[in-house]
Amino acid sequence: MRDSLFWRKLSKLVLIMKFTTLLMLLFAVQLSANVYSQQTRLKVDFNQATLKEVIEKIETQTNLTFFYSSDVLNINQTVTLTSKSMSLEDVLLLISSQTGLSLTVDQDHILVKKEEAGKSMMVQQVGKVSGQVTDASGQPLPGVTIVIEGTTKGAITDTEGNFSLNDVPSKAHLLFSFVGMESQRVAVSGKTSINVVLEEEAIGIEEVIAVGYGTMKKSDLTGSVASIKADDIKVTPSGSVEKLLQGKIAGVQIINPSDDNPQGGATVRVRGASSINGSKAPLVVVDGFPMGDAGSLNMINPNNIASIEVLKDASATAIYGSKGANGVILVSTKRGRVGGTNVFFNTKTSISQFSDELDYWKDPVKMAKLENEAFINQGLEPLYRGARNTLGIYYPSVEQLESGAWPYYTDWTDYVFRTPLNQEYNVGVESSNDKTSFFLNVGYYQGEGMQVKDDYNKFSADVVVEHQLLDNLKVQTKFGMVSGNRNRNGGLNYGRNPIFPVYTGDGSYFKSYSKDYGNVVALLNERTSYNKTKEQFAQLKFDWEISRKFRHTTQLNYRHVSYMATSFYPIIYTEEGDQNHGRGTLTMTTNDAVVGDTYLTYEEAIGKHNFSVMAGVSYENDTYRSSFLESREFTNDILREENLSAGSIKYLGNGYGSPKLLSGINRINYSYNNKYLFTFTSRLDGSSKFGENHRWAYFPSGAFSWRASEEDMIKALGVFDNLKFRASYGISGNQGIPSGLTYERFGESYYYTDGEEKIINGIGYIASRGRFAEWGGIANKSLGWEQTAQANLGVDMSFFNQRLNVVMDVYSKKTTDLLRKKFLPPNTGFDEIWINDGEVQNKGIELSLSGDIIRGKDFNFSADLIFYKNKNKVVNIGTKEGAGYNVDEYGNQYTFYGSRRVLGTDQVVNVLAIGKPINVFYGYKVDGIIQDGTKESELLQPGEYNYVDLNNDGEITSADRTIIGDPNPDFTGSVNLNLSHKSGLSLSMMFYGVYGNDIFSLRKLTTPRLVEGRWTPTNPNNDRPSLRSGRQYKISDWFVEDGSFLRLQNVTLGYDFKRNFLGFFKEAKIYTNATNLFTISNTSEYDPEVGENGIGGNPYPRVSAFTLGINAKF
């Protein structure tokens, strides 16, 4: 036994050494590599091709850039070259001989000019040339490369954008180039001062975007990938990234029910929920490093994000194989892109308030009268009668309250809420020259919740360095740390009875009776709960151009996360503390994640055929260790969580896991004549989470795209600037379940015998605790992946000189082999085993329109519209016996889903029903209120709910329940409007709306404002039941409301100070932003945006934040 463990460890060590050796070998080869034009060999196959085509082809094969001036060069002249392997030098010579042009290779450039008669013409005059380079807005551009055409001589602009060159021939041309800008060629013509304005490179369909293990021109995309630039999202304050994506991308639904968590976090779904027990959240990949599920990404500093891409269809996600089924969000962070050195400073400050008035009992007399009415209707003595109730709580009489004789009125909101201040600061430096660039950012975020002591702050530091180590070898490293601190003080009940004082006469906290644990001030001051997260990460990436066709990339990532959470429930004022005489906990967890990727890219062009092939391997391992301490029975509250050994009863636990994933990845792109594009992507995954019989799986996908706008026929129409049709099909997987389900597992308990307590172990362990435990521990060696097959059809269109862009996609996703628990017959001694069974379907349409409505000299106005509709359906949840589902008299085959119990009962609202969307509501139907009844029983009195006897058996029983609502929206949509004026003023707005979903509104029952509309004999109505204190509420459609809403989510007004106005700054922007200005909805909830399960009851309104922000660069 021990021996075999030793051998396993040894063989693992050998493997690690293998991998290390490989990397070292690769590195060594890279060092020895030297690529010169003589050695670089090209594959050329041009028959009467235009010079333009030839240049493009050579550029793609070599990454060299041709520099030429179109006035001297007729790019439509034709050349013919054919060879399978020819040195670059020979290619250039051949072109030269056919065209009479001179082509010379500079470091990164090929300079093209007319072969002049006197090639060796003497330069008559030389002189000094200086000047300044600015961008279109007049800002100086540092770091611009200036080269004297035909030579290697040149200069780089300084921080003010100035340059100076000596010995410039008067008839020479200067070439100005800069990343992200269109290059320019300027004739010297004897001038000594030359000022140049560089224009930004036209973006749009030529944009390059991340696709996972590589990048692609947007025009070459065949899959469904949405891209969003950081500038579009970063003005809104948020502790977390995913909140900012709401309403920005078609096909992505962000559900953000509570706006008050200072730590951020939201539910993210890409193209619907396609799992039941596994993860439904998309995978998030930051700079090539898979970070895990979306929803808890508060460890990324939003300020550092450059762009976000969302991979939606199978063609795009299959490259992430077993983690791709829920979509993939790729986050690219900033690197030092700008020449010269910039120092930047960005800050945001927000204050928040509730966007709606709080509704609680402000008039204790009215509260007492209504409460008394409820007691009397139940046949009890009124509660407020100047006596103690059965628990021993003294309630004054209504008269005492009315006359003012009762001395206490406490407005608990004064103690619970505040006007929170959120602040964010980012300070950084970015710098680059022709070899090295770096980006450094230090950020601080201070978030406050609406509740006192509900805080989050984080500090982050990031460094990115890129260095061109050799001509063909680029090294990039990124490292950083984040430290987050959360002080959690949630769930304080501001609706506590206002007749209770805060303190008693002796200054201790008031308790209405011995088991009253609701004094919010006591909880605020005495209860402790906080956590701290620290994260460090490092990334090392090599880009090695082995040749003009081969490129090799290796990336190594490491991340360490440590998490600590501690809490203390004091003896007197909390229920847990009172039951256990004080309870303290401490949880510590560390994660160490290692991800290594290495892949080769090969590109080839033969005539009109273009190929690129990427293949590689990836390895992931995330090891976590956790420990848990708990103590109960403390002598007093003095030391709290500080010293858990002071408690006399102690519990401890620890955990360990180390899931692994080894993968082969590959992607083949082929295009013909730039019109017909094919992509084949696949990934082979082996995951330790699955049984040895199902450990390896293959996820292929294919896509085809037709750029119809390249066809002469379409061009002739003159309508489309771009018209592209896309079709894809493929399979991706989901492995979002805990590891350790595929091996047998013993349980643990205690047994007292022979005078001592023994720890005992044996087969079967508690898989889910609770009132009645469920027993697991049996292995399923055949457990495998969930598989999602997805078909996608899309079209990209742009019209009117790219002023109107339309992207539309329709998709159909089918997820089979759902990971879920199968229930076992009790005779086995086990309750459950994880298996693959069941099917869920999602179908939808996504549409995004973006239009530059006004594109003027002074004034621009653009609008984006996003429409997204997803239809979810549970097709199959296994056999009736295996899944244990119910069949009712109305044909619903359903099983209760989720654990949300409501209305103080054991009733679950949501079900999975075959043929229905996930999470539909299940319960009784109510047909108004009983107006005059037989009074035979409590439930038939006037003023009671008139429950519908669906099966007509004369009784209201559980058989009268059916499906009563669906929390999934028919569609969601958003409109983004942007106005800008040449003065630097800009205004943007975002509206976000959800239509056609149902909410199970719990506030409909309890909101004081609504309670007044109750049924009484003098106010009979069909809307609300009478007040009755002992009523047991059933889950019914009375609580179901239309959850549709439209919200003005965001308004930003900005002003951009021009450089001329503020000489010292390179950039200065000031803006104000307001969130959640208004919401139109018809629900009884404070806010219609509730969780994915549609259950309301959030105790306070959405928060509205007002932000003032400054971005400065110098």
Which residues, 863 to 902, sit near another protein by CB under 8 A? Answer: 880-882, 884
Q: Smallest distance from the beta carbon of 923 to another protein, in angstroms?
A: 18
Q: Smallest distance from the beta carbon of 896 to another protein, in angstroms?
A: 14
Cα–Cα–Cα angle for 854, 855, 860, nearest 5°?
Answer: 75
CB nearer another protein, residue 686 or residue 1008: 686
Among 379, 655, 891, 1013, binds another protein (CB under 8 A): 655
Among 661, 975, 1011, 1035, binds another protein (CB under 8 A): 661
CB nearer another protein, residue 220 or residue 620: 620
Distance CA 833, CA 823 (A): 7
CB nearer another protein, residue 686 or residue 928: 686
Nearest to 583 by CA among 568, 573, 566: 568
- How far from chain centre, in Å, is Cα 962? 35
Q: Which of residues 384-443 bind another protein (CB under 8 A)?
A: 390
Q: Does residue 778 belong to the site contacting another protein (CB under 8 A)?
A: yes
Nearest to 708 by CA among 676, 680, 669: 676
Distance CA 401, CA 382 (A): 14
Q: Which of residues 588-647 bind another protein (CB under 8 A)?
A: 598, 600, 615-617, 619
Q: Which of residues 832-861 bind another protein (CB under 8 A)?
A: 833, 835
Among 688, 951, 1006, 1007, binds another protein (CB under 8 A): 688
- Among 11-19, 113-121, 154-162, 605-613, the segment contacting another protein (CB under 8 A): 11-19
Q: Smallest distance from the beta carbon of 173 to another protein, in angstroms?
A: 39
Q: Smallest distance from the beta carbon of 25 to another protein, in angstroms?
A: 7
- Residues 6 or more apart whose Cβ sits within 8 Å of residue 876: 837, 838, 839, 914
Q: Does residue 785 belong to the site contacting another protein (CB under 8 A)?
A: no
Nearest to 269 by CA among 280, 261, 258, 284: 280
Cβ contact 685:666 at 8 Å:
no
- Among 247-255, 361-369, 448-456, 759-767, the segment contacting another protein (CB under 8 A): 759-767
Q: Which of residues 346-365 bind another protein (CB under 8 A)?
A: none
CB nearer another protein, residue 190 or residue 1030: 1030
User: Phi, psi at residue 128, to the nearest 5°?
Assistant: -90, 135
Q: Which of residues 536-555 bind another protein (CB under 8 A)?
A: 546, 550, 552
Q: Smallest distance from the beta carbon of 386 to another protein, in angstroms?
A: 18
Cβ contact 669:612 at 8 Å:
yes
Q: Does residue 739 belong to the site contacting another protein (CB under 8 A)?
A: yes
Distance CA 211, CA 601 (A): 14
The two tokens of residue 209 are: 């975007």
Q: Smallest distance from the beta carbon of 599 to another protein, in angstroms?
A: 9
Q: Smallest distance from the beta carbon of 824 to another protein, in angstroms?
A: 6
Cβ contact 886:912 at 8 Å:
no
Q: Does residue 1038 belong to the site contacting another protein (CB under 8 A)?
A: no
Q: Smallest distance from the beta carbon of 913 to another protein, in angstroms?
A: 19
Q: Which of residues 277-316 bind another protein (CB under 8 A)?
A: none
Nearest to 944 by CA among 956, 960, 962: 956
Q: Are strands 65-67 and 109-114 parallel, antiparallel or unpaired?
A: parallel
Q: Which of residues 131-150 bind another protein (CB under 8 A)?
A: none
Q: Are strands 225-229 and 886-887 parallel, antiparallel or unpaired?
A: unpaired
Site string for another protein, 562-581 (x = CB under 8 A): -----------------x--
Q: Which of residues 16-35 bind another protein (CB under 8 A)?
A: 18-19, 22, 25-26, 29
Cβ contact 211:669 at 8 Å:
no
Distance CA 797, CA 529 (A): 53
Distance CA 661, CA 619 (A): 6
Max alpha carbon distance in the chain (Å)? 117
CB nearer another protein, residue 9 or residue 435: 9
Distance CA 188, CA 123 (A): 13
DSSP string for residues in 261-298? -TT---EEEESS---SSS--SPEEEETTEEEEETT--T
The two tokens of residue 900 are: 């949300």
Q: Smallest distance from the beta carbon of 883 to another protein, in angstroms?
A: 10
Q: Smallest distance from the beta carbon of 499 to another protein, in angstroms?
A: 23
The two tokens of residue 114 are: 């007319």
Q: How many CB atoms lie within 10 A of CB 55?
A: 21
- Radius of gyration, alpha carbons of the chain: 34
Q: Smallest distance from the beta carbon of 587 to another protein, in angstroms?
A: 16
Size of residue set near another protein by CB under 8 A = 85
CB nearer another protein, residue 598 or residue 870: 598
Q: Smallest distance from the beta carbon of 735 to another protein, in angstroms?
A: 11
Q: Smallest distance from the beta carbon of 543 to another protein, in angstroms?
A: 15
Q: Which of residues 200-229 bind another protein (CB under 8 A)?
A: none
Q: Does residue 743 belong to the site contacting another protein (CB under 8 A)?
A: yes
Q: Does residue 379 belong to the site contacting another protein (CB under 8 A)?
A: no
Site string for another protein, 689-728 (x = CB under 8 A): x--x--xx--------------------------------
Among 657, 898, 933, 996, binds another protein (CB under 8 A): 657
Burial of 806 (0-12, 13-18, 19+ CB in 10 A): middle
Q: Which amino acid is at 433?
A: N
Is residue 1040 helix, strand or coil?
A: strand
- Among 265-273, 294-302, 658-666, 1045-1053, the segment contacting another protein (CB under 8 A): 658-666
Among 6, 36, 394, 656, binds another protein (CB under 8 A): 656
Site string for another protein, 814-833 (x = CB under 8 A): --------xxxxxxxxxx-x
Among 28, 208, 387, 763, binds another protein (CB under 8 A): 763
- Among 1-9, 89-97, 299-307, 719-727, the segment contacting another protein (CB under 8 A): 1-9
DSSP string for residues in 30-70? HHH----TTT-EEEEEEEEEEHHHHHHHHHHHH--EEE--T
Nearest to 779 by CA among 769, 791, 767, 793: 767
C-alpha torsion sign, points 513, 514, 519, 522: positive
Q: Does residue 758 belong to the site contacting another protein (CB under 8 A)?
A: yes
- Among 125-133, 754-762, 932-940, 982-990, the segment contacting another protein (CB under 8 A): 754-762
Site string for another protein, 309-348 (x = CB under 8 A): ----------------------------------------
- Among 397-405, 502-510, 686-694, 912-920, the segment contacting another protein (CB under 8 A): 686-694
Q: Does residue 511 belong to the site contacting another protein (CB under 8 A)?
A: no
Q: Which amino acid is at 272?
A: G
- Among 122-130, 253-261, 739-747, 907-915, the segment contacting another protein (CB under 8 A): 739-747
Which residue bears the tokens 């009215």?
366
Alpha-carbon distance values, 78 to 95, 117, 609, 711 (Å): 9, 22, 18, 21
Q: Are strands 196-198 and 126-135 parallel, antiparallel or unpaired?
A: parallel
Alpha-carbon distance values, 501 to 391, 401, 497, 498 (Å): 18, 14, 9, 7
Which residue bears the tokens 């021990």?
2
Q: Does residue 770 belong to the site contacting another protein (CB under 8 A)?
A: no
